A and B are shown apart, each in its own frame.
Chain A
Amino acid sequence: MMKTLLTSTALVAALALPAAAQDYTPDPNATPGGMITVTYKDDVATLDPAIGYDWQNWSMIKSLFDGLMDYVPGTTELRPGLAESYEISDDGKTFTFTLRPGVKFHNGREMTAEDVKYSLDRVTTPATQSPGAGFFASIAGFDAISDGSADTLSGVEVVEPATVRITLSRPDATFLHVMALNFASIVPKEAVDEYGSDFGKHPVGTGAFKLDEWTIGQRLVFAKNEDFWREGVPYLDGVTFEVGQEPIVALLRLQQGEVDVPGDGIPPAKFQEVMGDPAQAARVVEGGQLHTGYITLNVGIAPLDKLEVREAINMAINKERITQIINGRAVPATQPLPPSMPGYTEGYDGYAYDPEGAKAKLAEAGLADGFTTELYVMNTDPNPRIAQAIQQDLKAIGVTAEIRSLAQANVIEAGGAGQAPMIWSGGMAWIADFPDPSNFYGPILGCAGAGEGGWNWSKFCDEGIDAMATEADSMTDPSAPERLKMWSDVYMKVMEEAPWVPVFNEQRYTMKSARMGGDDSLYVDPVSIPINYDYVYVTE
């Protein structure tokens, strides 16, 4: 994800974090047993952890596979996973992981350091076509494997059967988060070889559940992994995922007691009805998510190339009203980072809604009579309605925005090609891959994403800010206060240049059946979306 080069080093003392330091206290009321039913509209494309990158398969893969790192359930706090402990060298470039003994794959074989090496080679080799390959760019030898001149990552070495050493080509504060991504899951070579391209339909991992049945287009059944390496979990005997279910049908079935969790959430049209009924509202868990919805202002297209114009648009948008369009399922945003992300700048108010001030800014730019531009938007509800609200807000300051409502893939294409003056990000908005502030910068605001086809649709590229970002990421401890302060500064600098209008941060609302037990945080888990299958339980 970060393509920038190292410009400074930060010296940090070697860290050795024992597993016990960050353990999770199991729920004393949890009772083992029972199956739950979860529904999704879209079929599951694949359960291959190197490939899967969808809303619905992300948490499924998390329950079938494990990586060296993991998160404390319901939080954004890192904890060791298949690694029992790890050490980081003083220069922040060498990570030595000691593997947990006795961890078995679903096929019964014990996991070793060779599997770690194989899995990292597999996800980065171009033949795998992994959408996550770029996350591993800081591992030494990444460039060689991705251009085909090597077939293995030189930076990953098996030291002993239970020890693996990973050397980075530059310090990377996000590396431990990367090792907790699904893409870094450990897979057994023999199973991948056996199934080839169909491994995604026959997944074999070390996770809390294993795939028991998959009837294409209808259902997937996960069964509890009796040999799971974490004591006492999972509680459930299994999970049935029924696919092809419209969210509105899923809600009806939940009301009839046939479904426990509708994976796609509460349909917008039914939201007020559900929340207005106390019995149903009591079963809805609300939580933040690492999401920001924004309007991109293409700095390469006149007159959006003028700072005053971008500031004027920021001041013209009535964010409160836009959150009302989605029934208040969001909080107005002031900056690119969502409030629950480390590095968020508290106390910053952003650009206040001020149409008069916006007109003055336009006059300053010599555009007192306004101008005409285009607003691209994805064509599914509620996005066109949001685009109309934006259009009206702009009209009020004399700017005429024509709405281009297109299919998702076409908007992404127009954004990547730099053809779109303005894009409302709804339906394609950034949801963090991992809970670190850097994840909102590189691909969507940094120079790395500003090239042809990149996701930085503003085409905003400020080398000074890029250098600050690189410096922040060269620290070893991802949660060091100095590092988070640097990231806060990065986003404040970005806001000064106003390449985005941050509009809102969506809240998550997970609905569950009355029999579902477990802490609320498990139902709005920031990492296992929608819910953390490994730790929830049923009460009847």
Chain B
Amino acid sequence: MAAYLFRRLVQSALILLGVSFITFVLLYVLPADPVRQIAGRSATQQTVENIRHQLGLDQPMLVQYARYLSGLVQGDMGRSYLQKTEVASLIAARLPASLLLMAGGIACELVIGLSLGVIAALWRGRALDQGLMVTSFVAVSAPQFVVGLLLLYVFAVQLGWFPIGGYGTFAHLVLPSIALGIMGSGWYSRMMRSAMVEVLRQDYIRTARAKGLTRARVILRHALPNAILPIIAMIGIDIGIFMGGMVVVESVFGWPGIGQLAWQAIQRVDIPIIMGVTLVSATAIVLGNLLADIVTPFIDPRIKLR
């Protein structure tokens, strides 16, 4: 186990290094000059060259990358080109909001997805099942931007049950969590349905029924735990999907997370922020996958880590 963990951590570090390099190269070859964004439209050539020199952007790409990395290992993610503030503090100020939203999204997709999946499995082949599966298909395909605005319009504007965007209380969290989690809930309902259908065919279920247990007890005590466990391990992978979805959901709901920060930085070619948010997201994804792999053998003893 320890050897496995060590190997995986080294692998993770290499992946992050690769991500940082690829992102850096992409931003470098991007046909958009960050110095022009800083210098503004009225700048003289002299001003532009001064700024380029101060930021070290007149150096060869590999030198710039090496400088970035050496800062990074010392915990320095650089300063935003446009805000002039330290990237680490900008991300730190916004990370809690993003983590909260992610937790909300995961809770939402599990609650909605798993319960719908179980219902569909129990009524499999009937109209209810088919209806739920079509609904889940819509949920998977619906653009989050549209879902978000629809939720806002119906539940915040028309019904007034929730605040119209913003951050701060539990009520603020509900709609963005649904908007973020609804796509995942579509997936989970389908996976839960097939896992449940599979489990319900097993001999031990028949045995449980045969020894006279109630239908409810068989489903809740014997079928559900066995169907649900493999799915739990997938949450780690969801983190990656959520990182993308958060950019959209955060901007619709005015949620002050890192997705919003990244979106604005991309528009303005604020490279230190783009790099910082990319690395933080990549770290979350790598850790999520690692966690999923570590948890799996505890859930399913047939799988061993080597």
Contacts and interface: CB of A to CB of B under 8 A. Distances in A.
Given A45-B82, A244-B254, A133 B45 contact: no
B153 to A, nearest CB: 7
Contact of B84 (A42, A198, A433, A452): A198
B51 A134 contact: no
Interface string B90-111: 1001100100000000000000
Interface string B56-97: 000000000000000000000001101111000010011001
A246 B254 contact: yes
Contacts of B180: none
A186 B294 CA distance: 59
A314 to B, nearest CB: 24
A365 to B, nearest CB: 31
B254 A146 contact: no
Nearest to A200: B84
B47 A253 contact: no
Interface stretch (A25-33, A305-313, A405-413): A405-413
A466 interface: no
Contacts of A422: none
Contact of B51 (A42, A129, A253, A448): A129
Interface in A3-47: 3, 41-43, 45-46
B38 interface: yes
B37 A132 contact: no
Interface in A41-67: 41-43, 45-46, 48, 51, 53
B256 A131 contact: no
Nearest to A129: B51
A368 interface: no
Interface residues of B, number: 53
B225 to A, nearest CB: 41
A43 B165 contact: no
B42 A134 contact: yes
B18 to A, nearest CB: 25
A126 B85 contact: no
Contacts of A253: 164-165
Contacts of B167: 218
Given A126-B54, A197-B84, A244-B256, A453 B36 contact: yes
Contacts of B47: 126, 133-134, 146
Interface string A241-266: 01111101100110110100000000
A200 B83 CA distance: 8
B46 A146 contact: yes
A242 B172 CA distance: 15
A197 B79 contact: yes
Given A134-B47, A217-B93, A413 B31 contact: yes
Contacts of B257: 217
B46 A147 contact: yes
Given A217-B257, A217-B260, A242-B254, A409 B37 contact: yes
A8 to B, nearest CB: 23
Contacts of B164: 249, 252-253, 256, 258
A201 interface: yes
Interface string A344-355: 000000000000
A127 interface: yes
A151 to B, nearest CB: 14
A244 B157 contact: no
Contacts of A135: 42
A246 B252 contact: yes
Nearest to B53: A126
B269 interface: yes
A469 B252 CA distance: 46
Interface string B121-155: 00000000000000000000000000001001100
Nearest to B255: A244
Interface in A388-418: 407-410, 412-414, 416
Contacts of B250: 244
B240 interface: no
B283 interface: no
Interface string B246-268: 00001111111100110010011
B260 A413 contact: no
Given A252-B164, A409-B32, A131 B39 contact: yes
A213 to B, nearest CB: 14
Point out which of B37, B42, B50 has the most chain A C-beta atoms below 10 A from its C-beta. Answer: B42
Contacts of A218: 166-167, 256
Interface string B13-47: 00000000000000000111100111111111111
A131 B40 contact: yes
Contacts of B33: 409, 413, 416, 453
A150 interface: no
A200 B90 CA distance: 13
A126 B45 CA distance: 12
B291 interface: no
A531 B281 CA distance: 38
A410 B27 CA distance: 12
B165 A245 contact: yes
A245 B149 CA distance: 12
B84 A48 contact: yes
B146 to A, nearest CB: 12
Contact of B94 (A42, A216, A416, A454): A216
Given A133-B43, A198-B85, A246-B251, A407 B50 contact: no
Contacts of B32: 407, 409-410, 412-413
Given A198-B84, A198-B85, A216-B256, A53 B166 contact: no
B20 to A, nearest CB: 21
Given A217-B261, A443-B41, A200 B85 contact: yes
Contacts of A126: 47, 50-51, 54
A178 to B, nearest CB: 11
A-B interface, 10 closest residue pairs, ranked by CB to CB distance from nearest: A131-B40, A217-B256, A409-B32, A126-B50, A244-B254, A216-B93, A197-B84, A245-B254, A45-B83, A134-B44
Given A3-B44, A129-B39, A252-B157, 13 more contacts: A45-B80, A129-B54, A134-B42, A146-B44, A215-B256, A242-B254, A244-B260, A246-B252, A252-B152, A253-B165, A409-B268, A410-B32, A416-B33
Interface of B: 30-33, 36-48, 50-51, 54, 79-80, 82-85, 90, 93-94, 97, 149, 152-153, 156-157, 164-167, 250-257, 260-261, 264, 267-269
Interface of A: 1, 3, 41-43, 45-46, 48, 51, 53, 126-127, 129, 131-135, 137, 146-148, 197-198, 200-201, 215-218, 242-246, 248-249, 252-253, 255-256, 258, 407-410, 412-414, 416, 430, 433, 443, 448, 451-455
7 contacts: A43-B260, A126-B47, A133-B44, A217-B97, A246-B165, A448-B44, A453-B45
